[in-house]
Amino acid sequence: MRKYTCVLTTTLICLFLYGTLLTAAPGDIQYTREGGDPEKLKSFPPSIFPHWIHRLNYRCDACHNSIFEMKTGTTTINKDVMKEGKTCAVCHNGTDAFDDGFANCNRCHLLEEQ
Ligand code: HEC
Ligand code: HEC
Ligand code: HEC
């Protein structure tokens, strides 16, 4: 009986690990911005994208691949496309999630803690 329980536990742990591997997504994405003045970039850093916070709220297919490809840097994301209501602004529009008004700049524009 004890042996059986042991095998069962191992199997469950393996299944669990396999499951997390299948759905594993990277942590926060720190965007980089090219061509900007490095000093200005320090005081106003590029945006981060916290994958985890979003995964708590949404399934993968809420974003992939309709809004974003599954590869960092492949989707053009900047203020112009966001003003057209695309990319982040599909949700960050003040209704589904906070918008990109002045009260909220530093919720996205912060350097990921190292
Ligand atoms: C919902 C998240 C979010 C909020 C809120 C937000 N931004 Fe952004 N912003 C981004 C992303 C993503 C980019 C593209 C990556 C980058 O350059 O940082 C970006 C890019 C930028 C850029 C680079 C130039 C450009 O045209 O793309 C500037 C400047 C900027 N944001 C300023 C601001 C200011 C000022 C505010 C507040 C009034 C703000 N942002 C609020 C997400 C956000
Ligand atoms: C709220 C939107 C959203 C949801 C939900 C989401 N993602 Fe993403 N994902 C993104 C964004 C944004 C990027 C970066 C795209 C870019 O920069 O062009 C990304 C990038 C990725 C990447 C590429 C990372 C890299 O380093 O290149 C993978 C893999 C990924 N997502 C997997 C997943 C999986 C698996 C799920 C569900 C468990 C998921 N994502 C849910 C928005 C989302
Ligand atoms: C599918 C909808 C959706 C998309 C697309 C999306 N977000 Fe979000 N995001 C949310 C929701 C919902 C929350 C949690 C809402 C809240 O706390 O007001 C959130 C929270 C966040 C937070 C956490 C802020 C905090 O202080 O807790 C950041 C940062 C953020 N999003 C940045 C981004 C950026 C950058 C993009 C584009 C690359 C993006 N999001 C795309 C829906 C989305």
Of the listed ligands, the closest to the CA of 96 is 3
CATH class of the domain comprising 26-108: alpha beta
Percent of the chain at pLDDT > 90 equals 48
Give the separation between CA 88 and CA 38, rounded to whole angstroms: 24
The pLDDT of residue 113: 59
The pLDDT of residue 49: 92
Rounded to 5 degrees, φ, ψ at 103 are -70, -15
Calculate how far, in angstroms, residue 18's C-alpha sits from the geometric centre of ligand 1. 37
In the numeric block, the tokens 């840097």 are attached to 73
Residue-wise pLDDT for 59-82, tens only, equals 999 999 999 999 988 999 999 999
**Paired residues of 92 in beta bridges:** 97
Could you state, in order of their start, the residue ranges of all structural domains in the chain? 26-108
Burial of 56 (0-12, 13-18, 19+ CB in 10 A): exposed
First vs last Cα of the chain: how many Å apart? Answer: 48
The pLDDT of residue 37: 74
Q: Which residues contact 94 (CB under 8 A, 6 or more apart)?
A: 101
The β-bridge relationship of strands 48-49 and 29-30 is: antiparallel
| Tokens representing residue 61 in the block | 């297919």
Of the listed ligands, the closest to the CA of 76 is 2
Which atom of ligand 1 lies at the shortest distance from residue 89's CA? 1
Report whether pLDDT(16) > 80: no
- Who wins on pLDDT, 60 or 18? 60
